[in-house]
Structure 1
Amino acid sequence: MDRSFLKALVTQWRTEPALFLYMLGSYIKMPVFQNLLFEKSCWELYNVSCLSLGARKDDDLCSNVTAYHKDEQVQSLANSLFFYSSLTLTIPSIPSSLMLGSLVDKSRIRLSILIPLIALVISSFVYIGLSIWEHSSPYYLLISDFIFGIAGGYTSIIGVSAAYSVRGSMGNIRSARMARLEAAIGLGGCIGSFLSGKIRAAFGYTVVFSIITVLQVFAIIYVLLFVKDEVYEEIPDSQPESSFIRRSLIDPLFVLTRLRPLRIVLIACFCAFGLELFAFSGMSDIQFSFMRFQLAWDDVAYGQFTSLSSLFGTLGVIFLYPFLRLLISDVFLGSIGLVLKMTFLLVLSFSTSSLLMNILSILFIGSRFVSTAFRTQIANLVEEDEQGQMSSLVSILEGVAGILATAVLNNLFPLTLSIWAGICPLSIVGLLGIALIILIISSFRLSSYRREEEGMRDETQSTTTTMDAVDYQ
């Protein structure tokens, strides 16, 4: 293959291959990490083997899911640990994400994505060490989260990639780029989830975290070789140049409140996206616990389900989204995705069938419509030189929504187990319903504004024509 053609193709991909490698590692990690949390929680509480309970000598209580999947103490400790993990990761990432997003507007794309990736490799070495030290305290896992979080965390990697994709593009091209970004995330999720539990079951935790580290190193190499800092045309500003700290931490906070047409629509879309992120983060946090408690799933079974879900989501955003985007707006595509998510969660709340859950994974075909639509719509409502700052705000939104969702649902879910495990999924359906209503109302407001603008433009042209005719006479 011609090298120049390959280079052009890679340039067109922008950060998608690096994002794919990152998401592949992340989705390999997530089921294994949660499974590790349960095992370490079990050891923290009991520190005994099945031999003391009269089981076979070679069976280990904490490695046997069916032996304790209904144990509410283990569920409670594991969910609490997941909550602490999310806090340790997300809180330090908020100021870091703001600064990294500002670097995008200053054409420092490569640096803004390399910083969190390098920190991620360091944090993965911590996981490798703790997986070798099998019975170490589960609280040591928080060290890894802090290292990654202080460098921007996952929100900065996704946010910077999104800002880089939308800059310099408009209309359907912007939607296509955002869909391609979501496809990279979905494809990584599909493959990673499928391999995750299988690798862990065959080779153990240490091999899993070692493979993840290698993928992260490949992502860094790709960024160094192919991601270039693009110089964007600066919009003249009469105001004096502000300090880096102000540009990075203060100015992005005013993007939402700045006077502009459709400011209310922007705020409404931002808030609706926040509700969806809260629901998504919360369900992601407790879904493994729910499946483990309700269906006795381990990371292998959960990985297969997540792989199917990601597969349908990826197929939807690659093939279905671009076609439907020619017929209907991003907002209504997002609405379709929200309805499908609500339908799945409604059935999940009452289901006890593993087969039914795997069949219903087809409903995830519209799952990536939601994020694609929201990110595209928000990008359309701000100026070109605000894309990096807006990505920083969205990163903060993801972080804050994640913290709140983790705090609420990881602490609420164990309390509902003695009543009904479906309370949390059903509550999330209600939140998504609110986000859907806001999204639809904001869409009608945008359409109304455009009609008014077209009417005023036509009226101005008509007046100008009449005046020209009078002058001529």
Structure 2
Amino acid sequence: MSAWKEKLRRLVTVEPVIFLYMTGTFIVTPAYQQMIITKVCQELLKNDTICTNPEHHKDDEEVQATASYILLLFSATLSLISIPPAIMLGSWSDRAGRRWVMALPSMLCLLSGGLLLAIDLLENLSVYWTLMAAALAGLTGGHVSIFLSSFSYLADLTVGSSSSRTLRMAVAESMIFVGGTTGFLLGGFLEQEYGLKAAFGAYISCHVLAVLYIALWLRDPATGKIARIAPCKEDTDEQGSNTEESRMFILKYAKLSFKAVFKKRSGQDRLKLHFLIVCTFINNLVAVGDQSILLLYLMYEPREFTTALYGVFNSVRMLLLGFGLLGLFPLLMRCMKETTVAKLSALFRAASYILLAFSSNTWMVFLVAVVGTPSGINQAVIRSLSSAIVGADEQGAMFSFSASVEATCILISATIFNGLYPLTLPTFPGMPFIIMAVFMLIVFILLQWISEMPVTHPRLVLSD
């Protein structure tokens, strides 16, 4: 029984953590967006009857523009506060263990969810209290800390097996979209039947389950323990004495993260790693921008989506993205190189955004989900290639740097897309999605460049 349990522990690892965190995230995202829109409407129009029904105010440009700027502030707060922990926690997890880095974001999200619930319950609380909820969620790095610790964990678990690592990371990446499907379906149902309070309650429950799972089920991989017990000499020198002042804590681990990314490597591996990190940044820039304005865009004429229909669309979209990683990707890997599959994925994602920009009715919007089915594949390949370049004792440091880049993109994306959307609203509301498509073409160009670089690291070679 013990051997069976240990085998299951190696098979089912970080996937439920990512699933629960992303389910909670996709439950709460439309919920807090809708709450912000409603609160803004109440402050501007002073009419509860109109503001409690989105159908009555969804075409009001002043409400749309003000809500968009509040959402920009929310994203900026989340981004700026999450950058220091994102830089620090990866290098720290190389020595202290991956599990506690995974647990910290969920612990703070419990407080954030409680505050959002209080804002919804107390009508006299200003909409700006949502910024405090964003700050709480960002104190431990938010979703980027979940990703850096989870993918570092998988890199520890799959040392020496490139193809296994790519597929395991694809499965873990798919949990983002499976969680998205579950979150949007559950969130849409709860909001429609029971209101925003039930959605915030479900969000809190997801994080309670995540903390319990990490504490009771996960164990740090043996390879990760070895790396932490016997770190390389220069890292040991960097750590200094045990009496080092706590104020140097962030600087020490930030330096380790930068060293892992910028150190000299054989051939063109360092340049390749830098390109992969740029691709990660662009992918997340687009993903954050997508979620920041999609609800506003789809509720605006002529699409005029309801909150329930928005939830259904996102559920279908996430389900197809998950299928792309779990079903389509393994089949494509049998006949194509992983970089080729990643390039195709970037092109399909660009095409889906162009279609979304010109969508004028419901069936066109749902066709966007079909066209974008392979869109999630390129980021899974990028994570695998990045982890294959660095050493076993640098996984957390490398993913920590990538995570800090992802955290900065929250602010940059919100500035670009939440700032641009109100400006293009009177003329061409779909313009932000055209810009997203251009960004994905840049990812395609970078992946093409990477694929033409000579292979100098044996773990980057896939066995056919």
TM (norm. structure 2) is: 0.90
1:247 is displaced (CA, Å) by 3.7
Does the C-alpha gap of structure 1 residues 338 and 110 become closer, same or farther in structure 2, counting only changes over 3 Å?
A: same
1:6 is displaced (CA, Å) by 4.7
Supply the AA of the counterpart residue of 2:238.
S
Report the Cα distance in structure 2 between the residues aligned to 1:8 and 1:450, rounded to whole angstroms: 30
Counterpart contact for 1:102–1:247, Cα < 8 Å: no
Which segments of 5 or more consecutive residues in structure 1 lack a partner in the other structure?
A: 50-59, 455-473
1:325 is displaced (CA, Å) by 2.0
Aligned to 1:78: 67
Supply the AA of the counterpart residue of 1:227.
L
Partner of 1:256, secondary structure, is: helix
Counterpart contact for 2:111–2:136, Cα < 8 Å: yes
Aligned to 1:232: 226
Further displaced range: 173-182 or 269-278: 269-278
Select which of 289, 304, 308 maps to 1:282.
Answer: 289
Supply the AA of the counterpart residue of 2:254.
L
Does the C-alpha gap of structure 1 residues 354 and 446 become closer, same or farther in structure 2, counting only changes over 3 Å?
A: farther
Report the Cα distance in structure 2 between the residues aligned to 1:296 and 1:84, rounded to whole angstroms: 25
Report the Cα distance in structure 1 between the residues aligned to 2:402 and 2:235, rounded to whole angstroms: 26
Aligned to 2:340: 332
Aligned to 1:341: 349
Aligned to 1:25: 24
1:168 is displaced (CA, Å) by 4.0
Supply the AA of the counterpart residue of 1:280.
A
Aligned to 1:435: 443
Please list the CA deviations of residues 116-142 of structure 1 after superposition, one character each: whole Å capped at 9, or x if unmatched.
Answer: 111111111111111111453111111
Identity %: 24
Aligned to 2:94: 105
Report the Cα distance in structure 1 between the residues aligned to 2:146 and 2:234, rounded to whole angstroms: 32
Aligned to 2:147: 158
1:238 is displaced (CA, Å) by 5.3
1:181 is displaced (CA, Å) by 0.7
1:67 is displaced (CA, Å) by 2.0
Which segments of 5 or more consecutive residues in structure 2 lack a partner in the other structure?
A: 240-248
1:107 is displaced (CA, Å) by 4.4
Counterpart contact for 2:325–2:374, Cα < 8 Å: yes
Report the Cα distance in structure 1 between the residues aligned to 2:11 and 2:226, rounded to whole angstroms: 17
Report the Cα distance in structure 2 between the residues aligned to 1:174 and 1:35, rounded to whole angstroms: 39
Select which of 223, 237, 240 maps to 2:214.
Answer: 223
Aligned to 2:263: 258
Further displaced range: 246-255 or 24-33: 246-255
Does the C-alpha gap of structure 1 residues 48 and 10 become closer, same or farther in structure 2, counting only changes over 3 Å?
A: same
Partner of 1:405, secondary structure, is: helix
Please list the CA deviations of residues 409-462 of structure 1 after superposition, one character each: whole Å capped at 9, or x if unmatched.
Answer: 101110111111121111211111112111111111145x689x99xxxxxxxx
Aligned to 1:387: 395
Counterpart contact for 1:43–1:135, Cα < 8 Å: no
Counterpart contact for 2:387–2:395, Cα < 8 Å: yes
Aligned to 1:177: 168
Partner of 1:241, secondary structure, is: helix
Aligned to 2:43: 44
Counterpart contact for 1:278–1:404, Cα < 8 Å: yes
Aligned to 2:77: 88
Structure with max Cα Rg = 1
Aligned to 1:459: none
Counterpart contact for 2:285–2:409, Cα < 8 Å: yes
Aligned to 2:317: 309
Partner of 2:238, secondary structure, is: coil
1:330 is displaced (CA, Å) by 2.5
The aligned length equals 441
Q: CA RMSD in A?
A: 2.1
Please list the CA deviations of residues 214-238 of structure 1 after superposition, one character each: whole Å capped at 9, or x if unmatched.
Answer: 1210111000001123412435425
Aligned to 2:244: none
Counterpart contact for 1:166–1:177, Cα < 8 Å: no
Report the Cα distance in structure 2 between the residues aligned to 1:136 and 1:245, rounded to whole angstroms: 35
Report the Cα distance in structure 1 between the residues aligned to 2:358 and 2:87, rounded to whole angstroms: 41
Aligned to 1:131: 120
1:149 is displaced (CA, Å) by 0.7
Report the Cα distance in structure 2 between the residues aligned to 1:368 and 1:7, rounded to whole angstroms: 30
